[in-house]
Structure 1
């Protein structure tokens, strides 16, 4: 009798490949926010805000975004791990980007109104401009990050391996 049945192998997940766990989150957040600070500062200056206020607001927003990023991605990956379909489809990536950026916008609009001494409507318009940029940036950054460092364990397909006994 053979040691394993190739027709009905016992399912076993292979170890996750690529950058994983806390190290993945730290590298992800660090790279994402470094690029985001530079981009946001330039975008604020492009709409007429002073360089110092733009840079400071970008750093403050980045700090808030880091906290939100860690919390949101932790929750997203917990949800993702429970899904029957693995991998990161275009729809799942869009949902991730909208969820992250939408939650961040709810926090940043009042902060920008206060920081730049503008009304909520003007801050909302500022955030809308940033949102358009950051929705594209978030999608592209996540795609590139996954291509370079591999998918997180929560999104990797389950591999079936034959058991040896």
Structure 2
């Protein structure tokens, strides 16, 4: 299992790299000013950072309880990414609609695009992170 410091490093690095990619890309894609999209992305990233820590901790506890191990198979990586993005979609939908002054349907379409991007990004990032910083086996959760 990962320690607290490692989980914090993982969550913060995930969000910083994601913001650097998504802000200019989605400002261009959705034809909104970079500042507006940047602030929205920052609000979303702030919420996601806190949720990332909690979600990964809960997911690892569930894996440890069910399997006795926190290593993820391909199927578990896909499930992990999908569940994380689904919960963020629900949490952030009203913020997107309000901030960009768009309908909930338009915000949903935008959020689905963000979710698709972040689902792929979460899969790639987590795999890379686990490769660079392998989780320790047999330790009690921190």
* TM-score normalized by the length of structure 2: 0.89
Larger radius of gyration, structure 1 or 2? 1
Query: Looking at both structures, which has the greater relative contact order when contacts are Cα pairs under 8 Å and sequence separation is at least 6?
Result: 1
In structure 2, what is the equivalent of residue 27 of structure 1?
Answer: 9
* TM-score normalized by the length of structure 1: 0.77
* Residue 85 of structure 1: how far off its partner (Å): 6.1
- What does the per-residue CA deviation read over 1:4-52, in whole Å, with 9 as the maximum and x for residues that have no partner? xxxxxxxxxxxx7xxx301111110111000111222123312101111
- Distance in 2 of aligned mates of 1:126 and 1:91: 26
* Residue 108 of structure 1: how far off its partner (Å): 1.1
Moved more, 43-52 or 141-150: 43-52
Unaligned runs of 5+ in 1: 1-15, 156-165
- What does the per-residue CA deviation read over 1:116-160, in whole Å, with 9 as the maximum and x for residues that have no partner? 0000000011011111111110000000000000025479xxxxx
Which runs of structure 2 are paired with 1:53-68 in the superposition (5 Å)? 53-68=36-51
Aligned length: 137
- Distance in 2 of aligned mates of 1:95 and 1:51: 32
Match of 1:94 among 69, 75, 78: 78
Unaligned runs of 5+ in 2: none
